[in-house]
A = this chain, B = another copy of it.
């Protein structure tokens, strides 16, 4: 039964995405002829830039994935004597995961670059119609991606279940799918993160500060790159990240579940983790249909936040029914008897934990509350106090989310063992369709504002898109909180699956090798953050040089009749992003492999624990500090403390610029670090063990 339901839900998702896409495309771009031309020119440039980045990026993704697939083929083929084509199976599911994730990102980007201009056009009629277009554009991404993910997962699982006699090994082979998704996310989050902030910081520093022209001014050669960046980072990057979490958490649950006889014996119970994500699709569809902004109810932010609450409540009910209908009564895992209610507890802990984290994130990053206002106050004495308060807020803001995660971990682990952690991760991400809809809504609205500015539409239009954008900023912060929370739980679930398949039942922290491994692991998020922040700095410098060069050499550019070379700026961001992501990418991929091979599985487990522990606090504090600085600046722009142009505002701009790479590059990239290192350990565990034994035998230990 489960399998049919899963395919039904996946089909529903893809249908919904198709219908939403048609609705968006049905909006005609109206106006005077010259306006229409301008619309086409600007939105065409953004679309072209976005697609040219994606094409360049996916060339490298394809190259990297092929190489990595070969590594998987040989490494796993070498150690697995059973089944016959182990290396091939793992490599194939890896490529499938990478491919599916790439398709989803392309789809999201495509519709976003169509939706932005249509949102701007509809904003001429009012907030409500503009909201509808932006929301529907986001929904294409939300439903399309979750449909593809669920479809891919169940298909791979069914095929391998059929082909491979040992069910546990079959599910281990499926984990390649998660690894593939996560590898694409590495490029999307890290490369995309560097792209977007290089363009943003570069455009701001040279445009606003040096040339004194406003944001989104078409005279700034980096302005298109900046708008492209919003799509690249917040749509392709975020999508790939969440795709990875969903795929990986599910793979972890499949692997762990398969080691319990009762689950392995029932296909319903075995595929239950996929079913939970699948059932999220109709739940989210019902929720999305309730999203309504009218001319009488223009509270966009409340509407979006309600989406999260409604989907969580509906999902609670759905999970309850589902668990009682589909899951086995009880099963035994590592000697622990686990009932279906224990599994339900884990799911619900994750689901509601995510909502709490989201709202705590909002508290720390929205200027409706005290923390951000304190940063605005501190800006009165200059940028130094603005930075001190922002950093301090960021650190503090990690406390409650991480304690909530600790509680979710405790509750789910205590209830349902390591299976519980995986189910908590799935629970947290089960409303992904709505979450991603809201996330993707943000950059579409943001772009719409940019287009309105660049096409010199009526001031009213920009005001309306600003309202949409402001709501998007808040939900983006909430979305980041979710993404981090689910990344940590997913990382832990993979960690648990890795230990399960390595046969480790106790990991004694009081052994030199584990403790030293943990200490060494704490340095990885630090190095990774340092690399990604510095990468943004370097890429931004390249952008600044280019913009200065164009200002100098293109005649009439400042008067508005010399056309800036937008493409060169996009190309610079693209090249810089792809070059600068190499070092952090290598760090993430190679450290678990090398560390494990040199020091053994236990040291590797310690290293992962250290990396996850530091990774989570760094990710939350970087994201929130960045969000808070951004909104402190926006708060001042509402006219407080002297408003725009005052010294206080200038001080707040410094904080905003510092926060840019923290919230959009290094912070979210840590999600990938936590998950990717764990899934590489899981997939390569047998190879690492074999290679380490080989080294030990050589050293004669």
Contact = CB atoms under 8 A, between A and B. Distances in A.
A187 to B, nearest CB: 21
A45 to B, nearest CB: 26
A523 B407 contact: no
Interface string A26-41: 0000000000000000
Contact of A381 (B205, B391, B403, B653): B205
A537 interface: yes
A529 B617 contact: no
Contacts of A658: 384, 387-388, 391
Contacts of A396: 526-527, 530-531, 534
Contacts of A516: 406-407, 409-410, 413
Interface string A518-558: 11101100110111011011001100100000000000000
Nearest to A605: B509
Contact of A613 (B496, B504, B610, B661): B610
A385 interface: yes
B409 A522 contact: no
Nearest to A394: B530
A393 B537 CA distance: 12
Interface in A385-441: 385, 387-389, 391-396, 398-399, 402-403, 405-407, 409-410, 413-414
Grouping DSSP codes into helix (H, G, I), strand (E, B) and loop, the A interface class, with mixed when no group exceeds half, is helix
Contacts of A492: 515
A407 B598 CA distance: 14
Nearest to A204: B384
A185 interface: no
A146 to B, nearest CB: 28
Interface in A226-270: none
A291 to B, nearest CB: 34
B504 A510 contact: yes
Contacts of A614: 522, 613-614, 617
A376 to B, nearest CB: 13
Contacts of A522: 402, 613-614, 616-617
A387 B385 contact: no
A519 B387 contact: no
A533 B389 CA distance: 8
16 contacts: A384-B654, A387-B654, A388-B537, A388-B658, A399-B523, A402-B519, A402-B523, A406-B520, A409-B512, A409-B515, A410-B516, A509-B605, A509-B606, A515-B609, A519-B616, A522-B614
